[in-house]
Amino acid sequence: MKLTKILVLVLSLCLMLVTFAHAGKDLDAVRNKGFIQTGVNGAVFGFGMPDAKGVWEGLDVDTARAVAAAIFGDASKVKFTPLSAQQRFTALQSGEIDILTRNATRTLSRETQLGLNFVTVNYYDGQGFLVSKELGVKSAKELDGATVCVLPGTTTEQNAADFFRTHKMAWKPVVIESTAELAKTFFAGRCDVLTSDASQLAGARAISADPKGYVILPEIISKEPLAPAVRHGDDQFRDIVDFSVLAMINAEELGITSKNVDEMLNSKNPVIQRFLGVSPGNGKALGLDEKWAYNIIKQVGNYGEVFERNVGINTTLGIERGLNALWTNGGLMYSPPFK
Amino acid sequence: MAESTTVKRERLKPPITNVGVLGWLHTNLFNSWYNSLLTIVTLIVMAFLLPPAFQWAFVDSLWNSSAEACRDIDGACWSVIPNNIRFIILGFFPSGQEWRPILAMVLLLTLVVYSKERSRWKSSLLWLWAINLIIMGTLMYGGIFGMPVVETSQWSGLPLTFILSFFGMIVAYPLGILLALGRQSNMPAIKTLCVVYIELIRGVPLISLLFMSSVMFPLFLPEGVTIDKVLRALIAIILFTAAYIAEVVRGGLQAMPRGQYEAADSLGLNYSNTMRLIILPQALKIVIPPSVGILLSVFKDTSLVVIIALYDVLKTTMVTLSNPKWAGYSRESYIFLALLYFGFCYAMSSYSRKLEKELHTGH
Do residues A94 and B226 make contact, with C-beta atoms less than 8 angstroms apart? yes
More confident residue, B361 or A52: A52
Contacts of A87 in chain B (CB under 8 A): 214-215, 308-309
Domain ranges for chain B, please list them: 85-150, 156-359
CB distance from A110 to chain B under 8 Å?
no
Average pLDDT over residues B304-318: 84
CB A303 within 8 A of CB A249: yes
CA distances from B208 to A153, B72, B164, B211, B317 (A): 19, 44, 17, 5, 23
pLDDT by residue (tens digit) across A207-240?
777 778 888 888 888 888 999 999 998 899 999 9
Neighbours of A181 (CB within 10 A): 16
First vs last Cα of chain A: how many Å apart?
69
How far apart (Å, rounded) are the C-alpha atoms in residues A149 and A172?
A: 9
The alpha carbon torsion through A244, A250, A251, A252 (nearest 10 deg) reads 120
Number of neighbouring beta carbons within 10 Å of residue A126: 17
Cβ within 8 Å, pair A42-B319: yes
Q: List pLDDT tens digits, range B82-132.
A: 888 888 888 888 877 888 888 888 888 888 888 877 777 778 888 888 888
Q: Which of the two residues, A94 and A129, has the higher pLDDT score?
A: A129
Q: Residue B19: what pLDDT?
A: 73
Is residue A293 within 8 A of residue A70, CB to CB? The reply is yes
- pLDDT single digits (tens) B256-292: 888 888 888 898 888 888 888 888 888 888 888 888 8
How is chain A split among helix, strand and coil, in percent rounded to 5? 45, 20, 40
Higher pLDDT among residues A17 and B351, named by residue: B351
Residue ranges of the alpha helices (H) in A76-151? 88-93, 108-112
Give yes or no for a contact between A174 and A185, defined as CB atoms under 8 angstroms apart.
yes
- A84: closest chain B residue by CA: B309
pLDDT of residue B217: 81
Of A256 and A313, the structure prediction assigns the larger pLDDT to A256
Task: Please state, in angstroms and rounded to a whole number, the distance separating the CA atoms of residues B123 and B127.
Answer: 7
Whole-number Å distance between alpha carbons of B82 and B86: 8
Q: With 80 as the cut, is the pLDDT of residue A17 above it? A: no
Q: Does B288 touch chain A (CB under 8 A)?
A: no
Distance from CA of A222 to the nearest CA of B (A): 24
Host H or E run for residue A171: strand A171-175
Burial A47-75 (b: 16+ CB within 10 A, else e): bbbbeeebebbbbbbbbbbbbbbbbbbeb
Report the residue of chain A nearest B308, measured CA to CA. A84
A206 or B245: which leads in pLDDT? B245
Cβ-nearest to B92 among A19, A50, A179: A50
pLDDT band at A8 (very low <50, low <70, confident <90, very high): low
User: What mean pLDDT, rounded, does chain A reach?
Assistant: 86
B221 close contact with A: CB closer than 8 A: yes
- Inter-chain touch A87–B214, beta carbons under 8 Å: yes
Cα–Cα distance measured from residue B81 to residue A72, given in angstroms and rounded to the nearest whole number: 38
Domain ranges across chain A: 125-223
Contact A45 B309 (CB under 8 A): no
- Beta-carbon neighbour count of residue B34 at 10 Å? 8
CA distance A252 to A248: 6
What is the nearest CA distance from A114 to chain B, expressed in angstroms? 13
Higher pLDDT, A288 or B151: A288
What is the pTM assigned to this prediction?
0.77
Say if residue A226 is exposed, middle or buried (CB neighbours under 10 Å; 0-12, 13-18, 19+): buried
| Element housing B234 (H / E) | helix B229-255
Does B153 touch chain A if contact means CB atoms closer than 8 Å? yes
CB of A14 within 8 Å of a chain B CB? The answer is yes
CA A32 to mean position of chain CA atoms: 26
**Closest Cβ–Cβ partner in A79, A95, A183 for B226:** A95
The answer to whether residue A18 scores a pLDDT higher than 60 is no
User: What CATH homologous superfamily does B156-359 map to?
Assistant: MetI-like (1.10.3720.10)
Angstrom distance (rounded) from CA A250 to CA A243: 10
Residue B97, judged by CB atoms within 10 A of its CB (0-12, 13-18, 19+), counts as middle
Query: Is there a contact between A24 and A33 (Cβ–Cβ < 8 Å)?
Result: no
Query: How confident is the model over A111-122, as a mean pLDDT?
Result: 91
**For A109-123, what is the mean pLDDT?**
91
Query: Is pLDDT above 70 for B362?
Result: no
pLDDT at A24: 42
Answer yes or no: is pLDDT of A20 > 60: no
Above 80 in pLDDT, residue A295?
yes
CB-CB contact of B84 with B321 (8 Å): no
Nearest CA in chain A to B92: A54
Window 46-75 of A, Cβ < 8 Å to B: 49-55
CATH for A125-223? 3.40.190.10
pLDDT at residue number A25: 76
Q: Does A16 touch chain B (CB under 8 A)?
A: no
Distance of CA B178 to the CA centre of its chain: 23
pLDDT at position A22: 41
**pLDDT of A32 over the 60 cut:** yes
C-alpha to C-alpha distance for A124 and A20, rounded to whole angstroms: 36
Q: Which of A14, A79, A84 sits opposite B307 (nearest CB)?
A: A84
Cα separations in angstroms, A204 against A97, A117, B183, B321: 30, 31, 55, 12
Say if residue B301's pLDDT is above 70. Answer: yes
CB pairs under 8 A between A and B: 120
For chain B, the farthest-separated pair of C-alpha atoms sits apart, in whole angstroms, at 113
Mean pLDDT of A17-25: 49
pLDDT for residue B292: 87
pLDDT at B3: 52
Assign A9 a pLDDT band (cuts: 50, 70, 90).
low
Mean pLDDT of B198-225: 83
DSSP state of B157: B
Rounded-to-10 torsion of CA B264, B269, B273, B275: 30
Confidence class for position A96, pLDDT limits 50, 70, 90: confident
Q: Is A194 on the interface with B (CB under 8 A)?
A: no
- Top residue of B93, B217, B225 to mutate, by most chain A CBs within 10 Å, is B225
pLDDT of residue A1: 47
For residue A87, the chain B residue with the least C-alpha distance is B215
Q: Judge whether residue B1 has pLDDT over 50.
A: no
Which of A21, A43, A96 lies nearest to residue B322, judging by beta carbons? A43
What is the end-to-end Cα distance of chain B in Å, rounded?
A: 66
A76 touches chain B (CB under 8 A): no
Give the mean model confidence (pLDDT) for residues B128-140: 85
**What pLDDT was estimated at residue B144?**
77
CB contacts of B227 in chain A (<8 Å) are 17-19
Helices first, then strands: H and E counts in chain B:
17, 1
Q: What is the pLDDT of residue A333?
A: 94
**Are B224 and A21 an interchain contact pair (Cβ–Cβ within 8 Å)?**
yes
Give me the residue from B83, B228, B328 closest to A207, CB to CB: B328
How far lies A50's CA from each of A39, B301, B311, in Å?
13, 24, 11
Question: Is residue B330 less than 8 Å (CB to CB) from chain A?
Answer: yes
Length of chain B: 363
- Could you give the percent of chain A with pLDDT greater than 70? 91
Residue A233: Cβ within 10 Å count = 11
B103-106 contacts, C-beta under 8 A, 24 or more apart: B103/B139, B104/B135, B104/B136, B104/B139, B104/B140, B104/B159, B105/B158, B105/B159, B105/B162
Query: Is B112 an interface residue toward A (CB < 8 Å)?
Result: no
Distance CA B214, CA B229 (A): 7
- The whole-angstrom separation of Cα A11 and Cα A263 is 57
Distance from CA of A127 to the nearest CA of B (A): 19
Task: List Cα–Cα distances, A282 to A68, A213, B222, in angstroms.
Answer: 17, 49, 35
* Helix (H), strand (E) at residue A206: helix A198-207
C-alpha to C-alpha distance for A310 and A199, rounded to whole angstroms: 12
A2, A9, A11, A17: best mutation site toward chain B, by most B Cβ within 10 Å? A17
φ/ψ of A143, rounded to 5, equals: -90, 20
State chain B's mean pLDDT as an integer.
Answer: 84
Mind telling me how many Å the CA of B82 is from chain A's nearest CA? 11
φ/ψ (deg, to 5) at B167:
-70, -30
How far apart, in whole angstroms, are the C-alpha atoms of residue A312 and residue A59? 10
CB-based contact B95 A91, cutoff 8 Å: no
Q: How confident is the model at residue A75 (pLDDT cuts 50, 70, 90)?
A: very high
Query: Which residue among B152, B218, B328 sits closest to A96, beta carbon to beta carbon?
Result: B218
**Summary count for chain A: helices (H), strands (E):** 14, 15
Helix H, strand E, coil C: the string for B7-43 is CCCCCCCCCHHHCHHHHHHHHHCCCCHHHHHHHHHHH
Tell me the C-alpha distance between B108 and B159, whole Å.
10
Q: What are the tens digits of pLDDT across the range A78-92?
A: 999 888 777 788 888
Q: For the segment A256-284, what is each residue's pLDDT rounded down to a tens digit?
A: 999 999 999 999 999 999 999 999 889 99
| Predicted pLDDT of residue A318 | 81
